[in-house]
């Protein structure tokens, strides 16, 4: 019942389709603007380095990582890792991605509030994502026998799942802010021309949609679980 029901078809499936569209969109946008070379001929690594240094973050290292669009900032190691398709590229797409990751490093250095909130949620969100569904499934089975323990387990699972959802929701302003920081620096710092900045906005906007779609899917799944529990209660 958890995997095939009207709630899934009405609430979750549309969000899953949205997530698939967003993933395809970010890949197509990156591919398109990977063919547009920046006229100032900055590599993505050079752009990220310039942004970091301009914020006094000479201590943040930039390293290579294998894969495609596996770029990320690791706050524990204080390292930005740029993928094979990004680090040595002079394309608008690559520079935008690298600048975005540099934006995350700036957020951590400045103590951006939503970064602190997201970091505090990491342990409970990880626990919630692992245990919530098993608890809900087992609880629903026990609820069939009108077990108070089953009801307790279901709602405990829903609460744990809601913590994972909250983490994804808090991630949204973090990602949008990092992109805004990247675009502002690339524009005001003279790294890119005006039309190139617009192209970067399109790439980072497409990437942001993947986070919006993921959060929307999780919220829809949470609502579905609440409705299922209500119907079985």
Q: Any idea which residues carry the catalytic annotation?
A: 101
- CA-based diameter of the chain, in Å? 70
Question: Measured between alpha carbons, how far is 13 from 55 in angstroms, rounded to an integer?
Answer: 43
Q: Which of 109, 11, 95, 9 is nearest to 57 (CA)?
A: 109
User: Which residues touch 183 (CB under 8 Å, ≥6 apart)?
Assistant: 96, 99, 197, 200, 201, 204
Q: Which of 17, 12, 4 is nearest to 224 (CA)?
A: 12
Strands ordered across the beta sheet of 61-65: 61-65, 79-83, 72-74
Helix (H, G, I), strand (E, B) or coil at 10: helix
DSSP code at position 189: T
């Amino acid at each position: 019942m958890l995997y095939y029901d009207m709630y899934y078809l009405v609430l979750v499936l549309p969000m899953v389709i949205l997530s698939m569209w967003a993933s395809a969109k970010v890949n197509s946008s990156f591919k398109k603007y990977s063919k547009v070379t920046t006229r100032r001929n900055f590599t993505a690594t050079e752009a990220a380095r310039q942004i970091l240094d301009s914020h006094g973050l000479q201590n943040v290292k930039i390293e290579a990582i294998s894969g495609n669009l596996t770029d990320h900032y690791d706050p524990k190691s204080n390292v930005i890792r740029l993928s094979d398709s990004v680090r040595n590229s002079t394309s608008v797409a690559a520079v935008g991605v690298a600048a975005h990751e540099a934006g995350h490093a700036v957020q951590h250095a400045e103590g951006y509030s939503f970064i602190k909130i997201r970091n505090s949620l990491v342990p409970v969100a990880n626990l919630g994502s692992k245990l919530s569904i098993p608890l809900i499934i087992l609880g629903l089975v026990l609820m069939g026998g009108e077990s108070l323990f089953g009801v307790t387990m279901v709602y405990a699972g829903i609460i744990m799942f809601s913590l994972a959802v909250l983490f994804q929701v808090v991630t949204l302003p973090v990602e949008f802010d990092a992109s805004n920081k990247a675009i502002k620096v690339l524009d005001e710092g003279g790294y890119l021309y005006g039309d190139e900045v617009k192209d970067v906005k399109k790439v980072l906007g497409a990437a942001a949609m993947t986070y919006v779609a993921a959060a929307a899917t999780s919220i829809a799944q949470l609502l579905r679980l609440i409705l299922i529990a209500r119907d079985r209660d």
